[in-house]
Structure 1
Amino acid sequence: MSDKWIETFRTFGTILVELVVLFLVVAFLVALLQRRVGDERLQRWMAGGTLLAPIKGIVLGALTPFCSCSTLPMLMGMIKVGAPFTGAAAFLLASPLLDPIILGVVWILFGWQLMLGYGLITFVAIILVSLLWGKLGLERYVRRVKVQAEHDGSPWQGLRRESRPAWNQAKSFFKPLVIPLLLGVSVGAFIYGAVPESFLVSVAGPGNWLAVPTAALIGIPLYIRTESILPIGLALSSAGMALGPVFALVIGGAGASLPELSMLSAIFKPRLVAAFVLSVLVVAVTGGIIIPML
């Protein structure tokens, strides 16, 4: 077996273990948070006017810097308590794209001007997309996933007594996502291990007017953590890829991935999954076109 395939299988195993552990930990903490805060209080906090709900979703996403896959337990929790759909949509898009780690890495690699441009463009695009989702009534395409109740409405019983039901809810969140996660990570890791940087530069290099949308499309199946894809993007830029396609690749890879899409299919119906992919592509292409102009 070649070193290339060994690296692919190693990548698959590492990503799978990381995502399973991260998902369960995040789901457990979300269950405890919901139990401590209360469903009604969380629902009231997320509520707001036309703009306030998605802005709150973006703020919550920025304060909870998860990768695209580990946003799902929080998203499922929001849906469960009846939070505004536009706020939940904004959180889903903002958490992997606007967390402080990403903004800091963009600043270090590309300068504060591009960091501000990236943050502003992504912020505005997420608000517009979430409002559009609400206007189109896409909430009706959310599946009603059965989740084991983590409490019976009684007051907070303390961390020790609340931990077991919170863990049960975390497992309940995870069960319908096991097979989609396995399929998505398998394909994503294979593409990550099989696609060379030279290919990315060749299809998204300077002089290709389709470079930005092509890079955005490539970024979605190319599952890599955003903190890793940014240095890779810098390497691609040094190898000859234009700055616009680099950012389109980063946004596409961070905003969506095959593992996430597979897992989303367990809670979103196909039309909403398609709307999510299209939205990420639009944000990625828009950012890839505008950011180099700054």
Structure 2
Amino acid sequence: MFEIYDSIATYITKDILNLNPSDKLYEVAHFFIYDTLKIFTLLTLIIFAVSFIRSYFPLEKTRKILSKHKAIAIPLAAILGIFTPFCSCSAVPMFIGFVEAGIPLGAAFAFLVSSPMVNEVALGLLFASFGFKIALAYVVFGVAVAIISGFFIEKLNPRHLIEDYVFELSFGEAEEKPMTFKERIEFAKNNVKDILRKISIYIIVAIGIGSFIHGYVPEEAIKSIMNSAGFLSVPLAVIIGVPLYSNSAGILPVIQALIDKGVPIGTALAFMMATTALSFPEFVILKQIMKPKLIAIFAGIVSVSIIIAGYLFNIIFGRV
């Protein structure tokens, strides 16, 4: 499907930049150009298609659905999170909206985990990079992490750890105006522009990091670090991933480069989950609406769930 991009990358690096195919710099440049073209093409197509579909399901409907089906709110919130491609920080306003609407706290937290970590962009890029089985497993494990996290938080009933004003906020009812086919196309196009404008710099930086790892970081060095960590490689990946801040599209080039260097797939994907579902900027925003104790509980439950998912990935798909 992307053979043309490989040819373009080869032409630019070899004929225009006059780089020697045996040099490391050639590998870096070729990887960067090829992955940039591939990822931005996939993102454009995926975001446009899903945005068009989402034009039939405004976010206000999400809140209404969860409000009406509280008995199954936690798994429903985790699944609905797949169709809302927010980063961890931008998912917080929706979290507040859920709490204000009277949706169970467990469901609100399940959405807060699922929305940035598991979405159609991640699914599309994982499918293109690693195939259907890995992409499907990532979605299943990601939703499971969100459901488990929501379930435990619901059992803890941490209402007293959330600021009182959150429950008093009123977002009102958003007017749902029917859209014509042309308006839906325009909505999808604008969504592509808006999302790419927000995340393009992060994706380019991530591709650059991935390119450097691909070309200059010795395979044996990566394997040595992971082998020395042994059984602790998965929790180590999660600990490293939490302080970082990225979305699934932005971090995937780094993940692909790590796996190419021999990092176990479960370890790499645990790193991806931690980076997208948990971040310090998210915690700073959450600090405005909840007590530090609840943030710590939330981070702990999600981290442990991701670690378990990482180990399961390695068991099912092997270490490499």
Give the TM-score band, short-chain normalised. 0.5 to 0.7
Aligned: 1:64 with 2:64: no
Q: 1:38 to 1:95 in 2, by over 3 A?
A: closer
Number of matched pairs: 223
8 A Cα contact 1:102 1:227, kept in partner = yes
Report the secondary structure of 1:236's partner residue: helix
Matches of 2:289 and 2:233 in 1, distance apart?
A: 33
Matches of 2:90 and 2:243 in 1, distance apart?
A: 17
Aligned: 1:101 with 2:124: no
Q: 1:150 to 1:208 in 2, by over 3 A?
A: closer
Report the secondary structure of 2:227's partner residue: coil
8 A Cα contact 1:251 1:283, kept in partner = no
Structure 1 residue 93 displacement after superposition: 0.9
Bigger CA drift: 125-134 or 198-207?
Answer: 198-207
Aligned: 1:218 with 2:254: no
Matches of 1:60 and 1:66 in 2, distance apart?
A: 12
Matches of 1:58 and 1:157 in 2, distance apart?
A: 23
Match in the other structure for 2:139 = 119
> Cα deviation per residue 1:223-281 (whole Å; 9 max; x = unaligned)?
12210211111112223423222111101001111111111111121111001211221
8 A Cα contact 1:204 1:212, kept in partner = no
Aligned: 1:288 with 2:310: yes
Report the secondary structure of 1:69's partner residue: coil
8 A Cα contact 1:87 1:130, kept in partner = yes
Report the secondary structure of 2:164's partner residue: coil
> Cα deviation per residue 1:11-54 (whole Å; 9 max; x = unaligned)?
xxxxxxxxxxxxxxxxxxxxx965xx698x56632522xxx110
8 A Cα contact 1:141 1:269, kept in partner = yes
Matches of 2:261 and 2:267 in 1, distance apart?
A: 13
Write the letter of the residue equivalent to 1:230.
Answer: L
Structure 1 residue 204 displacement after superposition: 5.0
Q: 1:257 to 1:46 in 2, by over 3 A?
A: farther
Q: 1:218 to 1:134 in 2, by over 3 A?
A: same
Report the secondary structure of 1:223's partner residue: coil
8 A Cα contact 1:203 1:211, kept in partner = no
> After TM superposition, where is structure 1 displaced by more than 6 Å over at least 4 residues in a row?
none
Write the letter of the residue equivalent to 2:138.
Answer: Y
Structure 1 residue 129 displacement after superposition: 2.0
Equivalent position to 1:259, from 281, 286, 291: 281
State how 1:144-223 maps to structure 2 within 5 Å. 144-145=164-165, 149=170, 201=222, 205-209=226-230, 210-223=232-245
Write the letter of the residue equivalent to 1:123.
Answer: V
Unaligned 5+ segments in structure 2 are: 1-57, 179-204
Matches of 1:208 and 1:264 in 2, distance apart?
A: 32
Per the normalisation by structure 1, the TM-score is: 0.66
Q: 1:38 to 1:233 in 2, by over 3 A?
A: closer
Matches of 2:277 and 2:141 in 1, distance apart?
A: 14
Q: 1:217 to 1:204 in 2, by over 3 A?
A: farther
Match in the other structure for 2:5 = none
Aligned: 1:128 with 2:151: no
8 A Cα contact 1:62 1:100, kept in partner = yes
8 A Cα contact 1:129 1:279, kept in partner = yes
Superposition RMSD in Å = 3.3
8 A Cα contact 1:143 1:267, kept in partner = yes
Per the normalisation by structure 2, the TM-score is: 0.61
Write the letter of the residue equivalent to 2:70.
Answer: A
Write the letter of the residue equivalent to 1:281.
Answer: S
Bigger CA drift: 119-128 or 282-291?
Answer: 119-128
Q: 1:83 to 1:207 in 2, by over 3 A?
A: same
8 A Cα contact 1:107 1:115, kept in partner = yes
Q: 1:260 to 1:204 in 2, by over 3 A?
A: farther
Equivalent position to 1:77, from 79, 97, 103: 97
Identity of matched residues, %: 28
Match in the other structure for 2:295 = 273
Write the letter of the residue equivalent to 1:215.
Answer: A
Match in the other structure for 2:70 = 47
8 A Cα contact 2:79 2:143, kept in partner = no
